[in-house]
Chain A
């Protein structure tokens, strides 16, 4: 019997004492952070440390960070659906789910950054088509549709099986989520259906690739078209966004697979290759960073060089050297590539490497947004009027950090809860351990 039952022993990683601690901490952070978020929305942006010299700060950094995580993991999943990559295939559901959650988080952050958040609908109602930001809104809308459709195609047969195997409210929810799809019960029909699903996923993947490139490359273009900030104004910028998205999205995917939704037997097979692929994107990203510095510093145009000097020698140089290069690049590359010959990969190490990558890319995001703005557009502008709102030194205050952490923690907790209730791996048994039999048994 056991051979016929498609089951993994554990639906998702069981929570150890550390997990419980993390969960409790996460809930506390989410509650405190949501209070800070409500405070921010009620009081306006005046309670932040943003100003008129540095008008964008942590919220915008979080926005491009999460949009990047989303686009990166989506593009990795399309390697499976469109290009037939096998090593990433078991990760594809997780990747698409992660893409959806991160997109929503990114949009929450840009909402949180608006001076008049109650007018967010203006971007839909009064689009101004010369604005890259207006294009992006429509890319995001199209992207949400692609992601939801992909998720449905990926999970519909498991969901319909779960709906049959589970009773009560959960069963009803699974039925509703399968949107009337019924998994065929004979082997032939099932194979035909799977084939159809794969074809749809390929079509959606093909549509999704330009959309996801538009989503994050376009987010890069928001910055790249701004000629008043020479460090942003480079055609390499949209590409930097896409490549760093692949590195951070891949890193998060490795981490989640290893520590939250593992499948040890499969993981030992596929994760080393997946990790090398993601590390390849990280190396590509470092190359782009080198090119940016090379061209900018070689040219020596003062306004172009100053943001780089701030990054590498300013008060937050540790973000560049420590978070971005040491944690975000050196450690994961050592973990993945610097190994004694012939030694076996431990999946935990790959998960940690992934963790370092997505932590490091957050430093990249901060260094994209802030240093370029912290250099005043005209010499002396920041001191022309005696006001902290014109200061070129921007240090985010507790409201900004707490509300950001709160939004992120809430997103992670909700996603974690939903993840435990959804078939994140193929043919995973429903929560509660009910057993779903292979279709072959009933043919």
Chain B
């Protein structure tokens, strides 16, 4: 994923789209918009940055999991959580240098706690279609951005034109979020990295994040 901070206006539509797609509860936001994480621009314009999970090449979170509940998928490198394996110890949350992990404490928005029709629609996450029930997973688990992995087809492919695309990138009003395959030299994201200088956060830690920011 490549995020062009020059195109980001800080509207937070990505945060809302992610919530709508994954039906995350209060206090769980797979992407957040940060202000001031980097120094302001020279011309003193604000610098916003949306910050999903970076799906690092060397994730610090997966190695610390005592039960192997969170891991990097070999086929596409997406870092996922097995809700049925996770014991909720939250070690991975302390280990992530980027604040990509959130614990589901079981809080609910009124639309869910008041059992409106919205509450009846399960979350499509991981194509597991879980409904929110007290003390049932994913409540009591650590949750994180999945690059909307449930939108992949049977072959593990996304399709932008069919709408099977990460919700944040699909929604972005300024078209600041580019999603694609870094292994493909012709993809939009690879081309952007070739053409413009990009940075990654806390590169010195060696996590090798897969999300780049264009300044």
Residue on B nearest A388 in the bound complex, by CB: B27
A442 in the interface (beta carbon within 8 A)? no
Neighbouring A residues of B103 by C-beta, 8 Å: 45, 50-52, 55, 115, 389
Q: In the bound complex, what is the Cα–Cα distance between A44 and B137 (angstroms)? A: 11
Neighbouring B residues of A42 by C-beta, 8 Å: 135
Whether A44 lies near B66 (C-beta < 8 A) is: no
Whether A52 lies near B140 (C-beta < 8 A) is: no
B77-120 interface code vs A (CB 8 A; 1 in, 0 out): 00000000111111101111111011111110000000000000
Residue on B nearest A134 in the bound complex, by CB: B66
Q: Which of B6-33 contact A (CB under 8 A)?
A: 15, 26-29, 32-33
Whether B29 lies near A385 (C-beta < 8 A) is: yes
Q: In the bound complex, what is the Cα–Cα distance between A417 and B118 (angstroms)? A: 54
Residue in B91, B97, B107 whose beta carbon sits within 8 Å of that of A46 in the complex: B107
Neighbouring A residues of B193 by C-beta, 8 Å: none
Q: In the bound complex, what is the Cα–Cα distance between A126 and B37 (angstroms)? A: 38
Q: In the bound complex, what is the Cα–Cα distance between A123 and B66 (angstroms)? A: 6
A211-241 interface code vs B (CB 8 A; 1 in, 0 out): 0000000000010011111000000000000
Residue on B nearest A136 in the bound complex, by CB: B66
Given A227-B205, A389-B26, A384 and B97 touching (CB < 8 A)? no
Neighbouring B residues of A388 by C-beta, 8 Å: 27
Q: Total interface residues on B, using CB and 8 Å?
A: 50
A114-137 interface code vs B (CB 8 A; 1 in, 0 out): 111101101100111011111001
Given A55-B103, A384-B33, A387-B27, A133 and B141 touching (CB < 8 A)? no
Whether A131 lies near B65 (C-beta < 8 A) is: yes
Whether A123 lies near B87 (C-beta < 8 A) is: yes
Q: Which of B48-94 contact A (CB under 8 A)?
A: 51, 60, 63-69, 85-91, 93-94
Report the minimum CB–CB distance from B97 to chain A (whole Å): 4
Residue in B37, B65, B91, B142 whose beta carbon sits within 8 Å of that of A380 in the complex: B37
Report the minimum CB–CB distance from B41 to chain A (whole Å): 16
Q: Which of A94-116 contact B (CB under 8 A)?
A: 110, 113-116
A430 in the interface (beta carbon within 8 A)? no
B139 in the interface (beta carbon within 8 A)? yes
Whether B66 lies near A128 (C-beta < 8 A) is: yes
Residue in A43, A116, A381 whose beta carbon sits within 8 Å of that of B88 in the complex: A116
Report the minimum CB–CB distance from A150 to chain B (whole Å): 27
Q: In the bound complex, what is the Cα–Cα distance between A225 and B66 (angstroms)? A: 14
Residue on B nearest A372 in the bound complex, by CB: B94
B201 in the interface (beta carbon within 8 A)? yes
Residue in B63, B67, B107 whose beta carbon sits within 8 Å of that of A122 in the complex: B67
Report the minimum CB–CB distance from B38 to chain A (whole Å): 9
Residue on A nearest B68 in the bound complex, by CB: A128
Given A44-B134, A115-B103, A378 and B89 touching (CB < 8 A)? no
Whether A377 lies near B137 (C-beta < 8 A) is: no
Q: Which of A4-58 contact B (CB under 8 A)?
A: 42-46, 48, 50-53, 55-56
Whether B105 lies near A378 (C-beta < 8 A) is: no
Q: In the bound complex, what is the Cα–Cα distance between A291 and B65 (angstroms)? A: 30
Report the minimum CB–CB distance from A63 to chain B (whole Å): 11
Whether A130 lies near B67 (C-beta < 8 A) is: no
B36 in the interface (beta carbon within 8 A)? yes
Minimum-distance CB pairs A-B, first 9: A115-B88, A389-B27, A228-B97, A115-B140, A128-B68, A384-B32, A46-B106, A133-B66, A46-B105
Interface residues of A (CB under 8 A from B): 42-46, 48, 50-53, 55-56, 110, 113-117, 119-120, 122-123, 126-128, 130-134, 137, 222, 225-229, 373, 376-381, 384-385, 387-390
Known: A126-B85, A228-B96, A378-B201. 8 other contacts (CB 8 A): A43-B135, A53-B99, A116-B88, A131-B63, A379-B37, A380-B36, A381-B37, A389-B26
Interface residues of B (CB under 8 A from A): 15, 26-29, 32-37, 51, 60, 63-69, 85-91, 93-99, 101-107, 134-135, 137, 139-142, 201, 205
- Pick 7 A–B contacts, CB within 8 A, sort by A: A52-B102, A115-B140, A122-B85, A127-B68, A128-B68, A384-B29, A389-B103
